[in-house]
């Protein structure tokens, strides 16, 4: 109830679509929809999770931009992790003793690679690049899933998956180059922060798939995010957040976006991402990053960023790569 009041008060400017999404998320209709989806066969359920994650994470980049209006990058990222840890704290307490001690370090590291470090890297990156471009650069993740998997996890990938990933990556690269203001306004240093975040994602995807198969998705997400909320809270304290005028409407507006990032785009999304990794495999799960640019560019269009027929064509190429990478080889 309190979250609904906060969202209704502070998601008014450029946020009517966001209001609708949040109200849908908290409604009984959404929960009923999820219950019905679980009755679908395995393949359809995997694709439903894929689409849902694309919408959630694709929207997260514009949420970061809104959070950065009145807060620093480190404050937005820290609040994101702290809120996610708070939401999942009851579950973490419930499951903590059930986790083998030798897996706790792996789960904590999964939180660092899959949530903590990328949260800071993306927020810092969006100080110098637009949200649609940040979302597009996410498509590097499957490339690093393959590279890190081959280098550190002895994983094998079929030729059709490699071909699909290369096609999708080409589409993402063309989408990046289609931005006419690329050389004028984008900084390679900020772009490198996104690349580093995708490397973290690649390592995390392989680590979860290889070392955490026997542990429930909710247990992994809740414990990983709750543990990582501790260093995030320390960072938040030293940024001076608690000395800000927290009742100021602008501060509340940015804090509300950070809260939504933590509750939906981190806590909830992390749970269903771990489900997807364990259901469909590391490469398929990482391919969700190819759906993210579609949503990120949709928000970019609403917020006045450059989105035209060239960008749409590149997105169709990305989806072609997704299809090829997930098609079973002919017998």
pLDDT the model gives residue 244: 95
Let me know if residue 109 belongs to a domain: yes
pLDDT the model gives residue 225: 94
Let me know if residue 137 belongs to a domain: yes
Q: Distance between CA 317 and CA 94 in Å, rounded?
A: 44
Let me know if residue 64 belongs to a domain: no
Orientation of helix 188-211 relative to helix 117-125, angle to 10°: 160
Token readout for 268 is 């909830």
Cβ-proximal residues to 303 (8 Å cutoff; 6+ apart), any chain: 14, 62, 65, 131
Let me know if residue 9 belongs to a domain: no
Q: Distance between CA 149 and CA 156 in Å, rounded?
A: 8
Let me know if residue 280 belongs to a domain: yes
Let me know if residue 293 belongs to a domain: yes
**What does DSSP assign to residue 113?**
I
Do 73 and 120 form a contact (C-beta atoms < 8 A)? yes
pLDDT the model gives residue 154: 82
pLDDT the model gives residue 3: 42
Q: Which domain covers residue 289, as residue numbers?
A: 70-326
pLDDT tens digit string along 257-275? 999 999 999 888 878 887 8
How far apart, in Å, do the first and last CA atoms of the chain sit?
54
pLDDT the model gives residue 8: 43
All residue ranges of the chain with pLDDT < 50 are: 1-14
What is the number of domains present in the chain?
1
pLDDT the model gives residue 161: 76
Do 271 and 44 form a contact (C-beta atoms < 8 A)? no
Let me know if residue 282 belongs to a domain: yes
Token readout for 64 is 């970061």
pLDDT tens digit string along 172-219? 778 767 766 555 555 678 888 998 999 999 999 889 888 888 887 778
How many residues are there in the chain? 331
Rounded alpha-carbon distances, angstroms, from residue 277 to 205, 273, 282: 7, 6, 5
pLDDT the model gives residue 2: 38
Q: Residues 105, 283, 149, 229: what is their CA dihedral angle, to the nearest 10 degrees?
A: -20
Do 139 and 289 form a contact (C-beta atoms < 8 A)? yes
pLDDT the model gives residue 113: 95
Let me know if residue 35 belongs to a domain: no
pLDDT the model gives residue 9: 43
253-279 per-residue burial string, b: 16 or more CB within 10 A, e: under 16: bbbbbbbbbbbbbbbbbbbbbbbbbbe
What SS3 string covers 293-315?
A: HHHHHHHHHHCCCCCCHHHHHHH
């Amino acid at each position: 109830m309190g979250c609904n009041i906060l969202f209704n008060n502070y998601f008014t400017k450029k946020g009517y679509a966001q209001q609708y999404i949040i109200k849908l998320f908290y409604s009984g209709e959404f929960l009923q929809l999820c219950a019905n989806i679980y009755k679908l066969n395995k393949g359809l359920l995997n694709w439903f999770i894929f689409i849902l994650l694309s919408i959630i994470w694709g929207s997260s980049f514009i949420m970061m931009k809104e959070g950065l209006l009145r807060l620093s990058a480190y404050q937005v990222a820290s609040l994101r992790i702290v809120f996610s840890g708070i939401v999942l704290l009851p579950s973490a307490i419930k499951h903590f003793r059930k986790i083998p001690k030798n897996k706790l370090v792996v789960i904590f590291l999964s939180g660092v690679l899959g949530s903590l470090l990328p949260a800071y890297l993306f927020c810092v990156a969006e100080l110098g690049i637009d949200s649609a471009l940040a979302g597009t650069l996410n498509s590097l993740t499957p490339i690093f899933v393959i590279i890190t998997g081959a280098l550190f996890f002895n994983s094998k990938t079929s030729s059709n998956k490699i071909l699909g990933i290369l096609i999708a990556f080409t589409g993402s690269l063309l989408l990046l180059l289609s931005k006419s203001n690329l050389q004028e306004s984008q900084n390679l240093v900020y772009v490198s922060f996104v690349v580093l975040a995708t490397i973290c994602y690649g390592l995390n995807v392989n680590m979860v798939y290889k070392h955490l198969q026997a542990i429930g998705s909710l247990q992994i997400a809740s414990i990983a995010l709750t543990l990582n909320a501790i260093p995030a809270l320390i960072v938040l304290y030293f940024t001076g957040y608690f000395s800000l005028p927290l009742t100021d409407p602008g501060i509340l507006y940015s804090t509300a976006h950070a809260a939504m990032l933590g509750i939906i785009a981190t806590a909830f999304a992390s749970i269903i991402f771990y489900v997807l990794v364990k259901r469909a495999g590391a490469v398929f799960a990482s391919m969700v990053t190819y759906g993210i640019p579609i949503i990120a560019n949709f928000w970019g269009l609403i917020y006045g960023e450059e989105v035209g027929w060239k960008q749409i064509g590149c997105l169709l190429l990305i989806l072609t790569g997704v299809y090829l990478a997930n098609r079973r080889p002919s017998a």
